[in-house]
Amino acid sequence: MPQNPNNPARRSFLQQTTLLAAATSLATLSNSSWASTTSPIARVRSGRLAGQTEAGVHVFRGIPYGADTAPRRFQSALVEQPWRGVREALDYGAAAPQTGSEGPGSEDCLYLNVWTPALRDGGKRPILFYIHGGAYNNGSGSDPLYDGSNLCRRGDVVVVTVNHRLNLFGYLYLAQLGDEHFADSGNVGQLDLIQALQWLRQHAAEFGGDADNVTVFGQSGGGAKIATLMAMPAAKGLFHRAWTMSGQQATAAGPRAATQRAQLVLEHFKTDADALRRMPMQQLLEAVKVRDPSRVENSSLYVGPVLDARNLPVHPFWPQAAQQSATIPMVIGNTHDETRAFLGNDPKNFELSWEELPAKLEAQQYVDLLPSVVIAEYRRLYPQYSPSEVFFAATTAGRSWRGAVEELEARARQGAPTWAYQLDGYDRDGDAAKLRAFHTLDIPLVFHNNAQPGSRTGSGAAMQQLADTMSDALLAFARNGDPNHPGLPQWQQHALERRQTMLFDTRSRQMDDPRGGERRLYQQAPFIQRGTF
C-alpha distance from residue 95 to each of 330, 359, 512 (Å): 28, 39, 41
Looking only at the bridges linking them, the beta strands covering 500-504 and 158-162 are unpaired
Q: For residue 429, what are the contacts with CB-CB under 8 A and spacing of at least 6?
A: 458, 460
Neighbours of 342 (CB within 10 A): 14
β-bridge partners, 510 = 502
Neighbours of 348 (CB within 10 A): 10
Max Cα–Cα distance, the chain, nearest Å: 78
Q: For residue 349, what are the contacts with CB-CB under 8 A and spacing of at least 6?
A: 343, 360, 388, 391, 392
Q: Angle at CA 66, nearest 5°, toward 248 and 175?
A: 60
The string of DSSP letters for 511-522 reads EESTTHHHHHHH
Distance, in Å, from the CA atom of 75 to the CA atom of 486, rounded to the nearest integer, reads 47
Residues across the chain: 533
Distance, in Å, from the CA atom of 362 to the CA atom of 257, rounded to the nearest integer, reads 24
Which of 221, 208, 120, 123 is closest to 160 using CA atoms?
Answer: 208
Classify residue 78 by burial, with Cβ atoms within 10 Å: 0-12, 13-18, 19+: middle
Distance, in Å, from the CA atom of 90 to the CA atom of 523, rounded to the nearest integer, reads 49
Active-site residue set = 220, 338, 439
Q: Reduced to 3 states, what is the DSSP secondary structure of residue 491?
A: coil
